[in-house]
Amino acid sequence: MNIQVLGTGCPKCKALENATREAIAKNGFDATITKVEDITEIMKLTMTTPALVVDGKVVSKGRVPSQDELKQLLSK
């Protein structure tokens, strides 16, 4: 699974990255996480940050999902 965390470095963006890493570790998902901070690259996928992209699809944007939500999003 290829996961991208989109965000320019704001507190919510950092929180999403940390929460995503925690969800992956807790649930044993086989995933690669990339942090994308380049606004041009972010705008190719969404205009709202923070955003979570799983295998090229935006699955969450504008907020930090709970651990349960992240588990569901990453299980799909």
How far is it, in rounded angstroms, from Cα 43 to Cα 27?
Answer: 30
Alpha carbon distance 35, 48 (integer Å)? 15
Whether the CB-CB separation of 1 and 55 falls below 8 Å is answered with yes
Active site residues: 10, 13
